[in-house]
């Protein structure tokens, strides 16, 4: 918004950046936040060495958020590391996710003939160009369902599971009966992200995800934005059905438009589900991951008789988020029963032994007011996925509702050049 010439005032009731997706430091604060009595044991090292994300996410190397960071130059405030591996759960064990032809042929997830069929499928996806019908191979991207595409390549259920959930990153199987274009583009994104750095398609910022909102706050400041922490919000002032300001500590900051998360406007959102997240402190890497210092594990719903996937994100002292020799694994999924902790048992079993657990169960909210009249634009709650693609879709949706036009990456580039000048971009 600042880049587009809007005057931006950012108010946050918290004393730290990032709201519900903050990174908590020192470790003592995390214990307090989860009401765990006493202080962390000495074996946990120095409290200041920990930066623990409340909501685990990785960035797709070729995804929307990385493009936003690059185009807006927020990357100048951040350092990233490539996540060391991406794994998928099958039959109680974890396997490296094959996403290139050579990995597919070497994978123990499939038999010999299945490997050949999967390789053909990957080649078709890699060559697919939605603007060139010659690359369609008899598939109509707007009509043919993904189920029909899998059938065309004669792929078995296990391969369908890891393709849909570990490559295309769907949380449920609803996508199978929808046109295949979206799925093919998602698999292409995964492969292109992987091709950038080789080990996995995911990136993670040193010192934790709390660095991201700080980077964007700095960018906003360059364009005249103002950021205020520790600002309690007393009232959102409405006149004739439209927002005109925000009252804090007796003063009203006037505005024409307001962006906020659901916690500020409980009367304008609806509950759409629950997410369970369990932060696990470990003193060892996860078994069967080649001692990776960071990885993602996806447990497809079919493997554990669920409707939605279970995710495990693991990072460590290599990312300056934990004390030396320590690892943080965060399990998350959409809650489906009255016993959420039992639902994530398959994931916790992969992490044993666990030194300390922090369990949170959060409501998922979606706006009932789209802001057309009120000019209040409300974000959706962070979902259980371990990447930022759905969050970026929400940001672009809010942008479109506010500005009346699509978010344009190229426009961002041009605006940035106006400020920094062409020379510095070279």
In a domain, 332, yes or no: yes
Residues 180 and 311 in one domain: no
Residues 182 and 318 in one domain: no
Give the domain-ending residue among 172, 196, 220: 196
Domain range for 170 is: 96-196
Residue tagged 């406007």 (tokens): 265
Looking at residue 424, what is its pLDDT? 46
What does the chain come to in residues? 426
Structural domains counted in the chain: 2
Nearest to 121, CA basis, from 110, 97, 109, 137: 137
Residues 219 and 192 in one domain: no
Looking at residue 200, what is its pLDDT? 86
CATH number of 13's domain: 3.30.519.10
Cα–Cα–Cα angle for 383, 385, 387, nearest 5°? 115
Q: Are 214 and 79 in contact (CB under 8 A)?
A: no
In a domain, 271, yes or no: yes
Write down the pTM of the prediction.
Answer: 0.90
**Per-residue tens of pLDDT for the chain, all 426 residues:** 887 888 999 999 998 889 889 999 999 999 999 999 999 999 999 999 999 999 999 999 998 899 888 888 888 889 999 999 899 999 899 998 876 777 777 888 888 888 889 989 989 999 999 999 999 999 999 999 999 999 999 999 989 998 999 999 998 999 999 999 999 999 999 988 988 887 889 999 999 999 999 998 988 898 899 999 999 999 999 999 999 999 999 999 999 999 999 999 999 999 999 999 999 999 999 999 999 999 999 999 999 999 999 999 999 999 999 999 999 999 999 999 999 999 999 999 999 999 999 999 999 999 999 999 999 999 999 999 888 988 999 999 999 999 999 988 777 666 656 555 554 444
Give the domain-ending residue among 148, 171, 196: 196
Residues 273 and 339 in one domain: yes
Following DSSP, what letter does each residue of 96-138 receive, concatenated?
A: EPP-SHHHHHH-TTS-HHHHHHHHHHHHHHHH--TT-GGGSTT
């Amino acid at each position: 918004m600042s880049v587009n010439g809007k005057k931006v005032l950012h108010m946050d009731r918290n004393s730290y950046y990032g709201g519900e997706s903050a990174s908590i430091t020192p470790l003592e604060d995390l214990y307090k936040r989860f009401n765990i009595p006493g202080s962390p044991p000495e074996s946990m090292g120095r409290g200041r060495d920990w930066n623990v994300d409340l909501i685990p996410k990785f960035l797709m190397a070729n995804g929307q958020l990385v493009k936003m960071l690059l185009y807006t130059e927020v990357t100048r405030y951040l350092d990233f590391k490539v996540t060391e591996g991406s794994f998928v759960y099958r039959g109680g064990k974890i396997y490296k996710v094959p996403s290139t032809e050579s990995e597919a042929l070497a994978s123990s997830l499939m038999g010999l003939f299945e490997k050949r069929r999967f390789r053909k499928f990957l080649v078709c996806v890699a060559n697919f160009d939605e603007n060139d019908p010659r690359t369609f191979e008899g598939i109509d991207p707007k009509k043919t369902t993904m189920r029909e595409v899998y059938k065309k390549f004669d792929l078995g259920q296990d391969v369908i599971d890891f393709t849909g959930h570990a490559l295309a990153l769907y949380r449920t199987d609803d996508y199978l009966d929808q046109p295949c274009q979206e799925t093919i583009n998602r698999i292409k994104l995964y492969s292109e992200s992987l091709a950038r750095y080789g080990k996995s398609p995911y990136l993670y910022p040193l010192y934790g995800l709390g660095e991201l909102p700080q980077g964007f706050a700095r960018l906003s400041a360059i364009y005249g934005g103002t950021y205020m922490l520790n600002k309690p919000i007393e009232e959102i002032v409405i006149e004739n059905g439209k927002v005109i300001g925000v009252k804090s500590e007796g003063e009203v900051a006037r505005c024409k438009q307001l962006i906020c998360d659901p916690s500020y406007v409980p009367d304008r959102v609806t509950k759409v589900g629950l997410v369970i997240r369990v932060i696990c402190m470990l003193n060892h890497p996860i078994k069967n991951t080649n001692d990776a210092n960071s990885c993602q594990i996806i447990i497809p719903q079919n493997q554990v008789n669920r409707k939605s996937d279970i995710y495990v994100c693991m990072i460590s002292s290599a990312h300056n988020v934990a004390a030396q020799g320590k690892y943080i694994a965060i399990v998350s999924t959409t809650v489906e029963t009255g016993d959420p902790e039992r639902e994530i048992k398959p994931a916790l079993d992969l992490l044993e032994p666990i030194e300390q657990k922090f369990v949170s169960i959060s409501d998922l909210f979606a706006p009932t007011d789209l802001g057309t009249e009120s000019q209040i634009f409300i974000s959706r709650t962070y979902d259980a996925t371990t990447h930022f693609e759905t969050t970026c879709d929400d940001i672009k949706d809010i942008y479109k509702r506010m500005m009346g036009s699509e978010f344009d990456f190229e426009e961002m580039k041009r605006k940035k050049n106006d400020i920094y000048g062409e020379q510095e971009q070279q």
